[in-house]
Amino acid sequence: MTLLPMSHWPLTPEDVTRPAYRSVAQGIVAAIGAGSLRPGDRLPAHRDLAWQLGISVQTVSRAYEELIRADMVSGEVGRGTFVKSGPRDTVEIPWHRTSASRAPLDLSLMTPVHLPQIADAWRDALQRIAAHPPHETMFALRPGETLARYGAAASAWLARCGLIVQPARTLVTNGVTPAMFVALMTVARHGDVIACEAATSHTLKPAARQLGLRLQGIAQDARGMLPEALVEAAAGSGGQMKALYLLPSGAGPYAHVIDRERRAELARAASAAGLFILECDPLGPLAPRRPPPVASFAPERSFYFTGLTKCLSPGLRFGILAMPDHLAERTVNRHLSVSWMATPIIAEIAVDWMESGLADDLLQAHRKELAARNRQAQRALGPESAGFAYGLHRWLPLPEGLGERAFQRQALRNGVAVATGANFAVTDRRPAIRLCLGGLGRGELEQALGILAALLPMPGHPPG
């Protein structure tokens, strides 16, 4: 086995390269392969390793989650994370490769399109801010200062998403994932149940594990989750089901946009069952003329969170959490405990883009490019490929008899990395893979889609 150069343990800050979570995971894989880490060894706690390497706890959590999905380690609530396997001849992580191997065409990571306008937008905004640096940006320490300066902009952005919320009911965060953690911490305690779709956000699963929460997949039809199934599941939970988690606007694994009527029905069902609604909407206003948020039908029990990372620029870690009036104080306190406050300079750049019109220009450019890429994917993969015009990914159910891991390995041998449906699964469902459309250039994307199409069996022919 050819090992990565970084095969020692423990890791050091010098081992961390960008993206940080990936280099940490690769370092642990290499240490396992070299025997520096052995089966049964306990990895450092998230906070300890983050401090040791000078990175964020969230980065360590993401690295550990990648290793759990690759079956290299196991995470046990209340005990820690343990090495699960010894040296292997092959490591089934799409992005794990030796320095001599060629990088695969990566469709596994949810990466926004790298528009050429993005670099110009960052440069222009930074020049404007540098010319007149706001005092609040340089010396902000109290979280209330960020809300006072950026709350109105956050509220205005929510209006673009179809949700009218006063600034006092908003919380500015460092992206969608921190907002999700805060919402979960506000409505649920260790051992509680969160209802979700059969396949859900890959970040919800590790978040629930970290918080000691249980996920329960709810039955659905072609229009989305069934309201009556939600009410029945809540009634059967013995009072332990506390919230409903939804990705109704195309960002979920199935890339499905729930219609207005079903959104209203789900809001009524959650209200009848006494559940809070956690609505995750990372794409924000990317899709024009979409139905209003589920939160708009039951604002008194809804947490709605969105951000700018997926719809404007990957580096713009600016999230917005809308919360019920009666839970505002508790939500703010939860945010204080995990993040303290949003990073002012990032918030300043986000507001600059909104006020200068750059945000609208980038939204329009993303819409045009994503529409073209989804047409491209539809042509290559046919009607089985599920998605919508402005989505960042497609969901491809596999033919009967063709397993996810087998197809993933076959695709990787042919130079294409994909994500298996198991990464998102809460309950049993038809085997599928998720294909992200944003990380490659148009030509490379065409090549990758062609390779995958060639690997799928022709109608009437068995897989293999």
Q: pLDDT, tens digit, for every residue of 409-448?
A: 999 999 999 999 999 999 988 999 999 999 999 999 999 9
pLDDT at residue 388 is higher than 50: yes
pLDDT at residue 149 is higher than 90: no
Residue 102: what pLDDT? 63
Running DSSP on this structure, what letter comes out for residue 82?
E
Backbone angles phi, psi at 240, to 5 degrees: -85, -20
Which residues are registered as beta bridge partners of 420?
Answer: 433
**Secondary structure class of 267 (helix, strand, coil):** helix
Residue 463: what pLDDT? 47
Q: Smallest Cα–Cα separation from 257: which of 249, 247, 266? A: 249
In this prediction, residue 14 has a pLDDT band, given cuts at 50, 70 and 90, of confident
Residue 31: what pLDDT? 84
Residue 384: what pLDDT? 86
Residue 90: what pLDDT? 41
pLDDT at residue 94 is higher than 80: no
Structure tokens at 196: 């979700």
Average pLDDT rounded to a whole number, residues 338-357: 92
Residue 29: what pLDDT? 86
Most confident of 64-68, 93-97, 451-455: 451-455
pLDDT at residue 86 is higher than 80: no
Residue 383: what pLDDT? 85
Burial class of 254 by CB neighbour count within 10 A (0 to 12, 13 to 18, 19+): buried
- Dist CA 10 CA 100 (whole Å): 24
Find out whether 1 and 88 touch, Cβ atoms under 8 Å. yes
Instruction: Name residue, tokens 């979280």.
Output: 143
Range of weakest confidence among 5-19, 104-118, 345-359, 402-416: 5-19
pLDDT at residue 99 is higher than 60: no
Mean pLDDT (the chain, rounded): 89
- Dist CA 258 CA 305 (whole Å): 17
CA angle, residues 113, 373, 359, in degrees to nearest 5: 40
CB atoms < 10 A from the CB of 5, how many? Answer: 10
Burial 27-50 (b: 16+ CB within 10 A, else e): bbbbbbbbeebeeeeebbebeebb
Average pLDDT rounded to a whole number, residues 200-204: 94
* DSSP codes, 348-406: HHHHHHHHHTHHHHHHHHHHHHHHHHHHHHHHHH-TTSB--TT-SEEEEEPPTT--HHH
CA dihedral 11, 16, 19, 24 (to 10 degrees): 0
Q: pLDDT of 289-306, one tens digit each?
A: 899 999 999 999 999 999
Residue 26: what pLDDT? 86
Range of weakest confidence among 71-75, 187-191, 323-327: 71-75
pLDDT at residue 143 is higher than 80: no
- Dist CA 382 CA 379 (whole Å): 6
The whole model's pTM is what?
0.78
Average pLDDT rounded to a whole number, residues 326-353: 93
Stronger pLDDT, 337 or 7, i.e. the higher one: 337
Residue 57: what pLDDT? 87
- E-strand ranges in 184-313 read 193-196, 214-217, 220-221, 224-225, 241-246, 276-281, 302-307
Residue 76: what pLDDT? 72
- Distances in Å between the alpha carbon of 60 and those of 74, 76, 210, 212, 344? 14, 16, 12, 18, 23
Stronger pLDDT, 286 or 100, i.e. the higher one: 286
Entry field: residues in the chain: 464
